[in-house]
Every structure is written in C-alpha cells, then in structure tokens.
Amino acid sequence: MERKDEFTRRAFLATLSGAALAGAALAALGRRARGAPAPGAPGWDLRVRGNSPEQWESSLEGLDHSWITRNDRFFVRNHLPAPQVDAASYRLEVAGLVRRPLSMSLAEIQALPAREAAHTLECAGNGRAYFRPFIPTGTLWERGAVGNASWRGCPLSVLLERAQVLPEARHVWFEAADEAPKGEPRFLRSIPIQKAMAGTLLAYAMNEEPLPALHGGPLRAVVPGWYAMASTKWVTRVRVEPVPSDNRYMVGDYRYFREAETGFAAPPVEELQVKSVITRPLEGAVVPVGKLRVQGFAWAGDAGARLVEISIDGGATWRPAGFMGTNTAYAWRTWATMVDVPEPARLTVMARATDGNGAQQPLYARYNALGYANNAIHSVTVDIQE
C-alpha cells in the first residue's frame, strides 16, 4: 500500500513532467520565495528571504565555489534582531547545576584549550519551499540555507569540566544576547548534556576570522551533526539543568508535528538527515553535447555521507558518483561524476545520498506541518544542445 507521506517513482516521474509549472509557481511567489540580492552581498551569492530579522540564503552557484563556504556567502538565519555585543566587555556565565559557577571574558575563553573543525550547518527549514502541500508558515527557503565553515573555539566540555557539573545534570541551556519584542519569548535552546560534552564548540572564529556579528559573534555554540537552530548565537549564559528547556523554540517550534501531536509529544528536530544537492549544472542550464560534469555536496548527521548516486532515467537506475577532497566528521563531502550526453536532449539528473547507517534520501520527504528537514532527492533539468 502506498503511504500518504511518500512519493512512488511513478508519482515522482509525473512531477518531473510538471517541473516548468513548479518553477513558474515558485517565481510567482515573488520576493518572499525567490528573493533578491542581500545588501552588500557579492552579486547573487546571497538572497534575501527576510530582513527583519535577517534571513539570507546562499545561492547554489555561490556554494559551488569551494568546500569551505566563505563568510560573506554563508546563509544567515536570525530569529530576533541581531544584537550589538561589545567583545571587549563581553562575559560568559556558566551556572545552574555546577559546583563552581564561572564568569569569563572573551580573552579568558580564548586562552583555554581550543579546537578547530569544519562543520556543516543547515537550517532546519531548508527546502521548505518545495513541500507539497504548501507550508503556509515559516521562511520559504529553497536549497541554500546550508554552509560548511571552519570553526575555532573552546570545547564546551572544557568549561563544563571546570565548572564541575553535578550528577543530576541532564541538559545544557544556551541563553543569548538577542532580545525579543515585548510580549514575545526570547530565543532559548537546550541540548542533552551528552551532546554538550561530545564535540560541541563555543566558537569565536569562523574561517580564520573573528566570528562575524551576523553569525553570532563574539561567541556562539556550534553543535555538530544537528540542525543549525541548536547552534545558538550570541551566547551569554550556559545553564546546566535537570530538564530540557520549555521555551517556545523548543516546544512550539522545531518539532515534527504530523498528526495530532503537540508540544513534547511531537518528535524534536535534532540530527541532520542525509542529503545531497547538485551545485553544477544549475536548473535550466544550456550545455553542449559531449561530457556533462555533475557535482555537488552531501552531508548527514553522526553517520556521515557514505555514498552519492545519480540517475538520468527518472530513478530507474542509479550509478555512484565519486567523492573528492577532504573527508572529516560533520562536514559535507564534495562529489562529482561525468555523464555522456552525445546528442541534443532535455535531461533530468537526480542525485541521492546514503549515510553510514544505510539511511537514504527519499524521493519525497515526510511531510510535517512546519516544513522541517526536507531531504528529498534533488533533481535538475538541463538542455543539451549542439
């Protein structure tokens, strides 16, 4: 029996025939969906999805330039207006279920043992624009609310060990400097203490530069392998608690609401789902007959991306692409392959990734009311011409 929340290959092929209509529909959504260049951004490398607060999306063409996403090409997703935090007077507190509460300046944090690692961050709403039925709420991200950066900072475990966490501690809360309008809840997230101790960074540098304000400077959390809302920006206080936060952004948002589930009954949005995107060629490209290079990035959560395959016959057959360059935990992997295109045609290329546990990108992501974790197979259609 066909499940309502899945696409069969037959249904997917039907959608390919309507690709032009889908493109027209997205275009008709106007500035909210398609966006315009962000002020000060290099060309079309960033597109505005919102400016109050900032919600800027990277273009696939911009991401294609490098395994590391440049700071000025990295997507921006702020829930509240970005605060102005003075690095010279900044203090971080560690409080709650600890024997030794801490209060440290940025310079003192930078003097602690540091670690640098490349990690991929993806907005949980990335791909929301492609869910059907249409998601009427939230930012209509397409595929570019993702990026891979080199982060340098102090492992959160170092601070927690200094503070001497008590045995009853189970969760770590991140309080931040951004302020909510009157009557609105502040942005507050928490993570299990096991995740806090296993690789989470308090980052003060991004791609060998001081952490930009729009990306959470002077200090932000980077939670590897989880969707980016967990990586709280402008962190000012780390609270160790026995329970998870009940903030709106933990209970009312960032949960997979599917049936009648509400609040904590709905599964939380946490680990990255296996995913790949095609960054070359772009949708609608005109390419010459001969050899067509297809390439992109693939990523996943703890298990990492193990395999990328492509199909040029609507998913009837698949063949592996090759990985290139750096392979490091929690960072996306570059993949590429060549396709023979000996004569003029209209060609649709599909790419799907598989993670180390065998989880595979679906033809269609499971629907949820807020449009999170759309990891459906990416396809692009190009015109092959003489």
- How is the beta sheet containing 189-192 ordered, strand by strand? 102-105, 91-96, 235-241, 171-176, 189-192
Q: Does residue 218 sit in the same domain as residue 283? A: no
Overall number of domains in the chain: 2
Q: Which residues pair with 222 in a beta bridge?
A: 201
Q: Which of 110, 120, 225 is nearest to 158 (CA)?
A: 110
Instruction: Convert the pLDDT of each residue in 162-173 to its tens digit.
Output: 999 999 999 999
Residues 300-312 have a mean pLDDT of 98
The pLDDT-based confidence of 34 (bands split at 50, 70, 90) is very low
What is the pLDDT at residue 76?
Answer: 96
User: In whole angstroms, what is the distance from residue 78 CA to residue 348 CA?
Assistant: 35
The pLDDT-based confidence of 39 (bands split at 50, 70, 90) is low
- Stronger pLDDT, 316 or 263, i.e. the higher one: 316
What is the pLDDT at residue 51?
Answer: 87
What is the pLDDT at residue 358?
Answer: 98
Q: Does residue 160 sit in the same domain as residue 278? A: no
The pLDDT-based confidence of 28 (bands split at 50, 70, 90) is very low
Q: Does residue 248 sit in the same domain as residue 376? A: no
Q: Which of 282, 375, 287 is nearest to 339 (CA)?
A: 287
What's the token pair of residue 84? Answer: 């102005």
User: In whole angstroms, what is the distance from residue 20 CA to residue 146 CA?
Assistant: 25
User: Is the pLDDT score of 150 beyond 90?
Assistant: yes
Q: Is residue 2 part of a domain?
A: no
Residues 106-120 have a mean pLDDT of 98
Q: 247, 265, 283 — which closes off a domain? A: 265
Residues 232-240 have a mean pLDDT of 98
Tell me what the pLDDT averaged over the chain comes to: 90
| Range name among 11-20, 214-223, 281-290 with the lowest pLDDT average | 11-20
Q: Which of 372, 123, 142 is nearest to 279 (CA)?
A: 142
User: In whole angstroms, what is the distance from residue 131 CA to residue 134 CA?
Assistant: 6
Q: Is residue 3 part of a domain?
A: no
CATH code of the domain covering residue 357: 2.60.40.650
Domain that holds residue 327: 9-27+272-385
| Range name among 8-17, 158-167, 251-260 with the lowest pLDDT average | 8-17
Instruction: Convert the pLDDT of each residue in 125-135 to its tens digit.
Output: 999 999 999 99
Q: 265, 285, 317 — which closes off a domain? A: 265
